Amino acid sequence: MAELTMVESLNKALHEAFSTDERVVLLGEDVAKTGGVFRVTAGLLNEYGGERVIDTPLSEAGIVGSAVGLSLYGLLPVVEIQFDGFVYPALEQIIVHVARYGWRTNGECPANMVIRIPFGGGVRAPELHSDSPEALLVHTPGLKVVCPTTPSDARAMLLAAIAHPDPVIFMEPKRIYRAGRQEVPDDMPFDLTTTNGAASSLLSTARVARTGDDLVIFAYGATVPLSAEAADKLQADGRGSARVIDLRSLYPLDVDAIVKHSVECGRAMVVHEAPRTAGLGAEVSSLIHERAMLDLEAPVGRVTGFDVPFPQFANEDDYLPSVERITRGAEKVLDF
Amino acid sequence: MGLSEPLRIIGDGGDLPDCQVPDGLGEKELLELYRWLIILRTFDERAVMLQRQGRVGTYPLYWGEEGTTAGALYACEDSDWVFPSYRQNSVGILRGLPVATVLGWVRGYGGPAGFYNPRDYRLGPICVPIATHLPHATGVAWAAKIKGDRTASLAWFGDGATSEGDFHEGLNFASVFRTATVFFCTNNQWAISTPVTRQMATRTVAEKAAAYGIPGIRIDGFDPLACWKATKDALERGRNDEGPTLIEAFCYRLKPHGTADDPSLYRDETEAQKWMHLEPVARMGGFLRRLSILDDDQDDELRREAKEMIAEGVRGLESVEQPGPEVMFDHVYASDNPWTFIEGLEEVNSVARKPEVAPPQGPTPPSTGDAEPLPEGE
């Protein structure tokens, strides 16, 4: 078992998928020769050749649109959208076709593909390289939307996503791509031609990232370690112990876990980088209020990005939820 | 733009002479292609009547463009994938798709009453958004190439579709990866009310092929044999790894865009009459008569058979019950339904269901062809 970063773990998963199922193909901008701008796809071209590891024209709609046809003819496309803000040209193909193909074909031809999107800010990148577009995709019926936070989850969830019969939007929190190493198992979790493996449950269940009893913080992606850090600070300050839940599955939400942890802690909040209005936090908050109202000691809190375009990076630390903002938000819920 | 410039095989029985029948089309094949035209024409006219009677919803007509659909499809191998726009809504029936399924789709039915498995017919779903199916055609032929199959693909679209980004993306990917894809543009010069001069500043659609380094072929879109020939040649090039072809089938939209459209608001309808003598069904019928391979009795018989085929489809449609609310949820996901679906179904099933609403009976369009009135109950 090796200690890997998330990038290395995703790379390992892709190598495993390519070596076990020849239907798997990879499409994207600069994914083959360069190995992707983040090197997630490094080494695949040499190993599996240019017919399966494909540098495409600069055309997200063309990539996703072609992938619909590839899928229709029996291949398993893994698509890389180079940066979050580049997915917008592909949204028509994703919303109009990828998400609807199974429904429109009586379940015979779901557009099963994985669309990987490195997302989020904090890396001092140019405009449209730091967006969090997940709510647009969560709001599109027919898609599964997931987001791993640990290297180990990243591998298992990517393999599960490739094996999954539905199209999966795979949000990769690029800020923590190389944030730390974790032991990642070598065993193949399951046969890619089935969905029965243990890893497939990761695509629909949340994970306890930190234990605690006084408050539960729901987060995903790069805000999970930030929330854990905030929880440590709250504890050190004697403000109480906060539980942190890594949602992992953004659609469908793990409603059972959301309700259970909220009931157990009695106080809850949500953290994400995406703008607040109609963001995922609104949905999580609504679920908690609908199903656990009488167990709550306080209204559900939210610490999110603002309803503005993601700023130029000189201001991104002003925009992004920080440990301090999360701690302040938690104190408001605790003090209510 | 005269008709002498595009590829044309069938004359008009007057000043335009007939040309040699292309190799590969004997009497049997010519009659079969004509039979296909009759089937498509019969479906189209019947669908308009059904819409007038409030038995199907808004229907996009293709009257006059049957040759572009039948001619191109007839050039395809059965294993080749074709991707229709809504203007080729009934093409599936030429590959065995039940007529009732197509009519069910027009009646607003989902689930098996209106949708089908594309793999059963090598037929993409009827594509409503403009040009978005072009990259799918590219992808299918590309996958076939990766797998080492000889399968080719074809997508139909209109002149308006060339303004969409997906037109470019489909053609660009196909040309870069040299897929065996035929991009079949039916340039009928109108996108609802927008004339082709508002879609492009180029003189032709075909010349756009130069941007992709692929052949652009301009043909008479009212000539089913030209449609067949250009498609056949394009498929052969594709199978020889020479990449895609853009075909521009130049014609004129002889009828309204759809049953809710009133062309008198935006164009001079006498213009359509100038093109009417070129419409493909009568034109090919005349051609076959000049070749002495069709007589009136045979023609009547083909029309009778087609009417019966469509009538049976109408009876099939009428025998289908309005789909239940579960079809909204069925197959949105191939995996287990998310919990929101279970709650949604519970909610929708907890209230009384309204009876099926008949589709709105459209105003009778001013020129919807010469379909006979449909007897009630047929």
Last residue of a domain, one of A150, A185, A203: A203
Q: Which residues pair with A301 in a beta bridge?
A: A269
Do A16 and A86 lie in one domain? The reply is yes
Q: What is the mean pLDDT of residues A35-45?
A: 98
Question: Do A69 and B141 count as a contact with CB atoms less than 8 A apart?
Answer: yes
> Does the structure show a pLDDT above 90 at B180?
yes
Q: Mention every residue, 6+ apart, whose C-beta is less than 8 A from residue B372.
A: B49
Residue A201 confidence (pLDDT):
87
Residue B317 confidence (pLDDT):
97
Residue B373 confidence (pLDDT):
46
CATH architecture entry for B27-319: 3-Layer(aba) Sandwich (3.40)
User: Residue B182 — φ and ψ, nearest 5°?
Assistant: -105, 120
Verdict on whether the full-model pTM lies above 0.90: yes
3-state SS string over A147-176? CCCCHHHHHHHHHHHHHCCCCEEEEEEHHH
The secondary element (H helix, E strand) that includes residue B271 is helix B270-275
- Binned at pLDDT 50, 70 and 90, residue B74 comes out as very high
CA distances from B25 to A129, B33, B74, B77, B234 (A): 56, 9, 10, 14, 16
Question: Do B115 and A105 count as a contact with CB atoms less than 8 A apart?
Answer: yes
Q: Using CB atoms, pick whichever of B112, B144, B173 lies closest to residue A57.
A: B173
Do A92 and A228 lie in one domain? The reply is no
- Binned at pLDDT 50, 70 and 90, residue B13 comes out as confident
Residue B377 confidence (pLDDT):
43
Do A164 and A290 lie in one domain? The reply is no
Q: Where are the beta strands (DSSP E) in chain B?
A: 81-83, 153-158, 181-187, 190-191, 194-195, 216-220, 245-250
The pair of structure tokens assigned to B13 is: 């029985």
Beta-carbon count within 10 A of A106 CB: 18
Asked if B76 contacts B92 with a C-beta cutoff of 8 angstroms, the reply is no
Structural domain including A213 reads 207-335
Q: Which residues pair with B218 in a beta bridge?
A: B248
Q: Which residues pair with B7 in a beta bridge?
A: B219
Q: What is the mean pLDDT of residues B267-275?
A: 94
> Which residue has tokens 């709250």?
A234
pLDDT, tens digit (0-9, with 9 covering 90-100), for A178-202: 999 999 988 765 566 665 566 788 9
Do A229 and A180 lie in one domain? The reply is no
pLDDT, tens digit (0-9, with 9 covering 90-100), for A65-86: 999 999 999 999 999 999 999 9
Q: What is the mean pLDDT of residues A134-144?
A: 98
> Does the structure show a pLDDT above 50 at B4?
no
Q: Mention every residue, 6+ apart, whose C-beta is less than 8 A from residue A182.
A: A3, A4, A9, A150, A151, A152
User: What's A226's domain CATH number?
Assistant: 3.40.50.920
Q: What is the DSSP string of A53-81?
A: EEEPPS-HHHHHHHHHHHHHTT-EEEEE-
Name the B residues in 122-151 with CB < 8 Å from any A CB: 124-125, 129, 132, 134-144, 146-147, 151
Q: Using CB atoms, pick whichever of B135, B144, B153 lies closest to residue A65.
A: B135
User: What's A141's domain CATH number?
Assistant: 3.40.50.970
CA distances from A135 to A86, A153, A284 (A): 15, 21, 12
> Does the structure show a pLDDT above 80 at B371?
no
- Binned at pLDDT 50, 70 and 90, residue B372 comes out as very low
Mean pLDDT for all residues in chain A: 96
> Does the structure show a pLDDT above 50 at A170?
yes
Do A151 and A39 lie in one domain? The reply is yes
Last residue of a domain, one of A155, A187, A203: A203
Residue A1 confidence (pLDDT):
78
Q: Is B164 on the interface with A (CB under 8 A)?
A: no
Residue A268 confidence (pLDDT):
98
Residue A299 confidence (pLDDT):
98
Residue A192 confidence (pLDDT):
67
> Under DSSP, is residue B150 helix (H, G, I), strand (E, B) or coil?
coil
Residue B369 confidence (pLDDT):
45
Which residue of A lies nearest to B149 if distances are taken between CA atoms?
A: A73
Which residue of A lies nearest to B168 if distances are taken between CA atoms?
A: A62
- Report percent pLDDT > 70 for chain B: 94
Do A257 and A315 lie in one domain? The reply is yes
Of A293-297, B168-172, B237-241, B349-353, the least confident: B349-353
- Binned at pLDDT 50, 70 and 90, residue B362 comes out as low
Residue A97: list chain B partners with CB under 8 A: 132, 136
Do A59 and A165 lie in one domain? The reply is yes
C-alpha torsion B166→B169→B174→B177, nearest 10 = -150
Residue A191 confidence (pLDDT):
64
Name the B residues in 22-61 with CB < 8 Å from any A CB: none
The secondary element (H helix, E strand) that includes residue A4 is strand A2-4
Tell me the nearest-neighbour CA distance from B366 into chain A, angstroms: 33
> Does the structure show a pLDDT above 50 at B1?
no
The pair of structure tokens assigned to A326 is: 């999360």
Beta-carbon count within 10 A of A122 CB: 19
Q: Mention every residue, 6+ apart, whose C-beta is less than 8 A from residue A26.
A: A14, A18, A32, A41, A44, A52, A53, A54, A77, A78, A79, A80
Asked if B11 contacts B3 with a C-beta cutoff of 8 angstroms, the reply is no
The pair of structure tokens assigned to A126 is: 């140019």
Of A174-188, A192-206, B293-307, B358-372, the least confident: B358-372
Count of domains for chain A: 2
Which residue of A lies nearest to B165 if distances are taken between CA atoms?
A: A61
Residue A186 confidence (pLDDT):
81
- Binned at pLDDT 50, 70 and 90, residue B144 comes out as very high
Asked if A60 contacts A11 with a C-beta cutoff of 8 angstroms, the reply is no
Last residue of a domain, one of A203, A238, A265: A203
Question: Do B146 and A25 count as a contact with CB atoms less than 8 A apart?
Answer: yes
> Does the structure show a pLDDT above 90 at B363?
no
- Report percent pLDDT > 90 for chain A: 94
Q: What is the mean pLDDT of residues B99-128?
A: 97
Residue B324 confidence (pLDDT):
93
Do A126 and A214 lie in one domain? The reply is no
Do A120 and A211 lie in one domain? The reply is no
Do A236 and A199 lie in one domain? The reply is no
Residue A131 confidence (pLDDT):
98
Tell me the nearest-neighbour CA distance from A252 into chain B, angstroms: 6
Do A26 and A89 lie in one domain? The reply is yes
Residue B258 confidence (pLDDT):
95
Q: Which of A162, A159, A171, A297 is nearest to A223 (CA)?
A: A171
Do A198 and A213 lie in one domain? The reply is no
Spell A29-60 as b/e; 16+ CB within 10 A means b. Answer: bebbeebbbbebbbebbeebeeebbbebbebb
Q: What is the mean pLDDT of residues B353-358?
A: 82
Q: Is B79 on the interface with A (CB under 8 A)?
A: no
State the burial class of residue A158 (Cβ atoms within 10 Å of its Cβ: 0-12, 13-18, 19+).
Answer: buried
